[in-house]
Structure 1
Amino acid sequence: MSPGRAQEANVTDRTDVVVVGAGPVGLAAACALWHRGVRARLLEAQLTPQRGSRAVQLHAPTLRVFRELGILAEAEKRGLRIHANEYHLAGGRTLRIELGVDNEPLMLPQEDTCDLLERRLEQLGGRVERGVTVTEVRTHDDQVTVDAEGPAGAARIEADWVIAADGVRSPIREQLGIGFTGTPVPVDFLIAEGRVEGRPADDAVHYFLGLAGSVVFASLPAGRVRVSGAVSPDHPLTEGGVQRLLDERGPGGLRVASLDRVNGFHSQERIAERLREGRVLLAGDAAHTHSPIGGQGLNLGIQDVHNLAWKLAGVIDGRFAPGLLDSYDTERRQAAGQIVHNTHRFLRVFTLPPAAAQVRNTAWSALESLGLLRRWFAPLLAGWRVRYATEGPAGRGLPRPGTRSPHWTAAPLPDDRYRLVTFGGRSLRLRGVAFAALRPALVRHAHVGRGGPGFVLLRPDGYVAASGTTPAHWAHAERLVAASAADPDPSRGAGTTAPLLWRNTL
């Protein structure tokens, strides 16, 4: 790679997609598109990659995306797996919650995440064009025109689509007149990274829930740690200020040895009023922002990409109807709303006054004794409970449409088709074969002999599109697939038989 070299935005080339912003979301978008054979130009105003940890916690759904992009193994080599959350309550009691394989995050500094994504982008045939500032975006019925300024001067690029991943202050969002609705978070935050002596176990994120306030302590690769918490506006952003935070809210015995960084910042809770304006789509911080509690921000942006890439690639290659992209706006605004709501609640729980904090800690112990912290809170924190509001029936005892299918998935194939899984006897298998044969370019089929009878129709991103047992359920699934198809002739395209299912081990 040559991260310091500015690249000129070539006027003469037309491309499928222009991605603006080479942060983790923009890089992931470009990788996901090239991975699907879509030409994507990635423009970045800065001449060099941004350094620093910033986002460090990659939740399990994000790791699933990294597996699909082919970078999970390298991410795990560089990162640190977290196996548990430990909640340290005032009075000395500690609740250790083993997360289970489906909920375990990976601690990896953002600069490493970006480096892995950029290397993968280059392997796929793309690159980051640095030193290129987008000055104007104009969307037309059949294309988007992007004006940019690079080291070689002005350039104009024509593309079918634009993904704006240009940050929380998104110039493209502002230019298009898209509102960014919400309010400031009424709390100041401190984040520090470095080395701390006497630190607790590296395999857990530690939440010290004291009566005087809370502090979160998380280990990073190479023996470093991150300390974070809500503080008063006048709290010193110094080594002494971090030590004071640990002394007042920690367990005792923690001593700051050295710090690489100490930052204070304010946060906002905002969601763009729409994520699609013609042929321009917003993603990541350009689309939403929220409290840092729970480490959701980067993960939410990666899931934007995961939702969008298969739809956009399918529209570009002519399999899916352009109207399918309207669901990106609807679904990802719903997801952002759920995350903003959850992080707001987390913030309130972790910033209670002393009397209420005592009640919280008692309630936390009760939740742990009932097993709810592991069964309910851990998947919520991991992001598995994000769901989309969908219409249509669901079969009794089967996954509901709009929810994730976190435990079972079809083995990945080099296409983006719906995955129909049938359960039960021979008649269900034959029904599934016939269903997939109607639109082989859009659906592939796998059968599981046990269980049932019934079916689950999974989208390419792993969300449940439909499920059921009755003829009405089957008819709804057929209408759903037909509505997403670009070609009115259902017989076009060649189908394949999907491999058997396998257990997800993230």
Structure 2
Amino acid sequence: MQFHTNGFIPGDPDVSVAAPDHRRAGDPLPETVDVLIAGSGPAGLCLAAQLARVPQIHTMLVEPKLGPMEKGQADGISVRTMEMFQAFGFADKVKRESVWINETTFWNPGTDANLRRVARVQDVPDGISEMPHILINQARVHDLFMDIMRNAPTRLEPDYGLKVRDLKIDPNAQEFPVTVTLEHTAPGREGQTATVRANYVIGCDGARSNVRNAIGGALHGDAAHQAWGVIDLLAVTNFPDWRKKSFVRSKDEGILMVLPREGGHLVRLYVEMDRLGENERVADRGMGANDIIAKAQRILAPFTLDVKEVVWSSIYEIGHRLTDKFDDVPEDQVRTRSPRVMLAGDACHTHSPKAGQGMNVSMGDTFNMGWKLISVLTGRADPSLLHSYSGERRAAAKGLVEFDHKWARVVGAKSEEDITDEGLPRVAREFVNNLPFTCGLTIQYEPSALTGAATHQHLATGFDIGKRLHSAPVIRLADAKPMHLGHCIEADARFHLFLFAPAGDAGTAGGTVAALCDWLENDPASPVRRHTKPGEDVDAVIDTRAVFQQEFRALDYGDMPSLLRPRVGRYGLCDYEKVFCVDAKLGEDIFTMRGIDRAAGCMVIVRPDQYVGHILPLQARDALTNYFSAILRVRG
């Protein structure tokens, strides 16, 4: 983390200087905003946290509830989402507060009908990520995003007690084309309305989304007609795996899942309840927390479960649904119109919680969207960039819905259908096979303007083009700090260009890296020059860093090209954090770990959302220019 760039800043470095002329929550409603976000769940807050950091963007976040969430709802955070949290700066805090899921166990009835542990599986495969799979109260995730918002230059906070009732789009208007009707929900003001005009509206308002309805969208899919109960409780039990993630299948009473929660004592149970009729809803049964507890006690028998306190509970029906499109532009108008209204999270995809992906994919939606909105609203990119959001995220959501449908059937299969193979029950075997998916690491964006072809994938086989950057350990040259390369990526809407040096290159004049850096910094044809405004820091849009094959004592920081020792901020201070070496001390060589061609080296372009956009040879200057020209406007 860097601060003092523009002068000494005392106190908490996470608190930015407040920008002038920004509205505060509770002030009179504005006439116009750049972005109006409907819903302060994980998707809405993830987007708001990104936008809040950009002073020139005016954002409004409306939430029909009257205050922030305190308990309940989702709890699982995948390793991919933890990598995203690292970009926001609060992954370490989450790791400290949360419970880590290290092992998952599976229980089945034996021949005497008593439960026995039949399998135990490592929950996160070795080497798949530097991050753990964790569980934490969704409300704490909200808190951490809102901390960023409150401390950002715009001091953004949700406007509680407001929801989007309807909206209308004027496709011919250039400024503020979306007129939004807001409805008050606070006692004494129910039904009162007001209007706000926006450049963009983002529907993060859940499965019954009014934003989706307003643009003619609908969720399509099916329901399993199976009621499930979820309950957070404090209890005394002799079940031995109470602090491990566990799948428990009884002989006659169905199944439950045990999910330990943060704090050392809290546990969440997902409990299979009753089958529902074709036209029956969960509410028709009138079930509550006591029914969930009684069913859990029967499933766990002969183990005992003495519930001391119920913190939260809910009963729901499994559904798997997906909307047609994630924005307002009809297919036949894509070439002539750019999106003005977009959907994220449950507003465009719903699924069961058993795979633990709902909150994660919802935040992934708006992490994808955020940098694109920032790029458009700050003039770096054309509004047509926003078409890529629907294309990329609908494909990701479709994969999730299809996986969740299959996984729900595996988890819900009856004992006699649970065919074993080499000692593993079917659910355990499928769990192992699906670990990369449940870790959130299988999303791969198709080739497009943002994702290059795999022509040069052989130069770095461990950085899959279209997938998230798989970080690896390095040593920072200037201060010999051991760290992960991916941790220098922040949620700041910048592209990252990593130069992996060829063998023997020490960054000195006449070498491949030095020549490329000189071109990037000084040639008008380079993307750094073309897409950076005069007066901006040289890394304001494209952040260039280099990784060398030597250990850090073999290199001289003073020999590095000036692009890798840039002068930044109002004082022109040197940025010392652009050059890295392999971690020879621990033997963790990033070139070996990620299959980087040692003789040739390569360039790896990483998008602002941590996904690998392209891999190119170090000599491919035209291809590098063409990649960025297809995304960013010329501003140099």
Determine if the TM-score, normalized by the shorter chain, exceeds 0.5: yes
Question: Which digits, 9 at most, give the CA deviation of each residue in 1:258-303, with x for residues without a partner?
Answer: 4334422113211121112131111111121111112111111111
TM-fit CA distance, 1:390: 1.9
**Structure 1 residues 361 and 164: alpha-carbon distance in aligned structure 2, compared to 1, 3 A threshold:** farther
Question: Which digits, 9 at most, give the CA deviation of each residue in 1:399-448, with x for residues without a partner?
Answer: 23211113242613574222122323245524653674412234232222
User: Any conservation in 2 of the 1:185–1:268 contact (CA below 8 Å)?
Assistant: yes
Amino acid across the alignment from 2:38: V
Superposed counterparts of 1:6-21, under 5 Å: 7=26, 10-12=29-31, 14-21=32-39
1:269 aligns with 2:320: yes
Superposed counterparts of 1:303-382, under 5 Å: 303-359=364-420, 362-364=423-425, 377-382=434-439
**Structure 1 residues 174 and 434: alpha-carbon distance in aligned structure 2, compared to 1, 3 A threshold:** farther
Structure with more helix by fraction:
1
Superposed counterparts of 1:85-484, under 5 Å: 85-91=104-110, 92=116, 93-99=118-124, 102=130, 104-124=132-152, 125-140=155-170, 141-142=173-174, 143=176, 144-150=178-184, 154-198=193-237, 199-201=239-241, 204-210=244-250, 212=252, 213-222=254-263, 223-233=265-275, 237-239=288-290, 241-248=292-299, 252-277=303-328, 278-359=339-420, 362-364=423-425, 377-391=434-448, 392-394=453-455, 395-396=457-458, 397-408=461-472, 409=486, 411-412=488-489, 415-425=492-502, 426=505, 428-430=512-514, 432-433=516-517, 436-437=520-521, 438-440=526-528, 441=532, 442-450=541-549, 451=591, 452=597, 453-469=601-617, 475-484=622-631
**Structure 1 residues 367 and 158: alpha-carbon distance in aligned structure 2, compared to 1, 3 A threshold:** closer
Task: Tell me the distance in 2 between the aligned counterparts of 1:340 and 1:16.
Answer: 32
Task: Tell me the distance in 2 between the aligned counterparts of 1:214 and 1:435.
Answer: 62
TM-fit CA distance, 1:463: 0.6
Amino acid across the alignment from 2:256: V
**Structure 1 residues 121 and 360: alpha-carbon distance in aligned structure 2, compared to 1, 3 A threshold:** farther
Unaligned runs of 5+ in 1: 493-506
Question: Which digits, 9 at most, give the CA deviation of each residue in 1:182-237, with x for residues without a partner?
Answer: 22233221112212323545653112245554321011134111110333237964
Aligned match of 2:51: 33
Amino acid across the alignment from 2:66: L
Unaligned runs of 5+ in 2: 1-23, 111-115, 277-284, 329-338, 473-485, 506-510, 533-540, 550-590, 592-596
Aligned match of 1:47: 66
**Structure 1 residues 248 and 184: alpha-carbon distance in aligned structure 2, compared to 1, 3 A threshold:** same
User: Any conservation in 1 of the 2:225–2:275 contact (CA below 8 Å)?
Assistant: no
| SS of 2:609 mapped into structure 1 | coil
**Structure 1 residues 238 and 18: alpha-carbon distance in aligned structure 2, compared to 1, 3 A threshold:** closer
**Structure 1 residues 389 and 413: alpha-carbon distance in aligned structure 2, compared to 1, 3 A threshold:** closer
Of 149-158 and 222-231, the range deviating more from structure 2: 149-158
| SS of 1:281 mapped into structure 2 | strand
User: Any conservation in 1 of the 2:410–2:426 contact (CA below 8 Å)?
Assistant: no
Task: Tell me the distance in 1 between the aligned counterparts of 2:612 and 2:301.
Answer: 42
| SS of 1:68 mapped into structure 2 | helix
User: Any conservation in 2 of the 1:349–1:360 contact (CA below 8 Å)?
Assistant: no
TM-fit CA distance, 1:19: 0.8
1:63 aligns with 2:82: yes
Task: Tell me the distance in 2 between the aligned counterparts of 1:309 and 1:251.
Answer: 50
Amino acid across the alignment from 2:612: V
**Structure 1 residues 257 and 240: alpha-carbon distance in aligned structure 2, compared to 1, 3 A threshold:** farther
TM-fit CA distance, 1:305: 1.3
Aligned match of 1:504: none
Identity of aligned residues (%): 22
- Taking only aligned residues, the RMSD between alpha carbons, in angstroms, comes to 3.1
**Structure 1 residues 362 and 435: alpha-carbon distance in aligned structure 2, compared to 1, 3 A threshold:** farther
Task: Tell me the distance in 2 between the aligned counterparts of 1:217 and 1:457.
Answer: 41
User: Any conservation in 2 of the 1:80–1:108 contact (CA below 8 Å)?
Assistant: yes
User: Any conservation in 1 of the 2:35–2:202 contact (CA below 8 Å)?
Assistant: yes
Of 100-109 and 400-409, the range deviating more from structure 2: 100-109
| SS of 2:420 mapped into structure 1 | helix
Question: Which digits, 9 at most, give the CA deviation of each residue in 1:361-411, with x for residues without a partner?
Answer: 84558987xxx966x533321211122222522422252321111324261
| SS of 1:485 mapped into structure 2 | coil
Task: Tell me the distance in 1 between the aligned counterparts of 2:405 and 2:617.
Answer: 39
Amino acid across the alignment from 1:393: A
Aligned match of 1:498: none
| SS of 1:174 mapped into structure 2 | helix
User: Any conservation in 2 of the 1:389–1:402 contact (CA below 8 Å)?
Assistant: yes
User: Any conservation in 1 of the 2:38–2:44 contact (CA below 8 Å)?
Assistant: yes
Amino acid across the alignment from 2:544: H
| SS of 1:455 mapped into structure 2 | strand
Of 149-158 and 296-305, the range deviating more from structure 2: 149-158
Task: Tell me the distance in 2 between the aligned counterparts of 1:250 and 1:216.
Answer: 14
Task: Tell me the distance in 2 between the aligned counterparts of 1:271 and 1:477.
Answer: 36
Question: Which digits, 9 at most, give the CA deviation of each residue in 1:279-335, with x for residues without a partner?
Answer: 111111112111111211111111111101111101111112211111110111011
User: Any conservation in 2 of the 1:209–1:350 contact (CA below 8 Å)?
Assistant: no
TM-fit CA distance, 1:343: 1.4
| SS of 1:358 mapped into structure 2 | coil
After TM superposition, the score normalised by the length of structure 1 is 0.85
Aligned match of 1:502: none
Task: Tell me the distance in 1 between the aligned counterparts of 2:140 and 2:490.
Answer: 27
Structure with more strand by fraction:
1
Amino acid across the alignment from 2:382: A
Task: Tell me the distance in 1 between the aligned counterparts of 2:273 and 2:622.
Answer: 55
User: Any conservation in 2 of the 1:166–1:172 contact (CA below 8 Å)?
Assistant: yes
Task: Tell me the distance in 2 between the aligned counterparts of 1:459 and 1:17.
Answer: 22
**Structure 1 residues 240 and 328: alpha-carbon distance in aligned structure 2, compared to 1, 3 A threshold:** closer
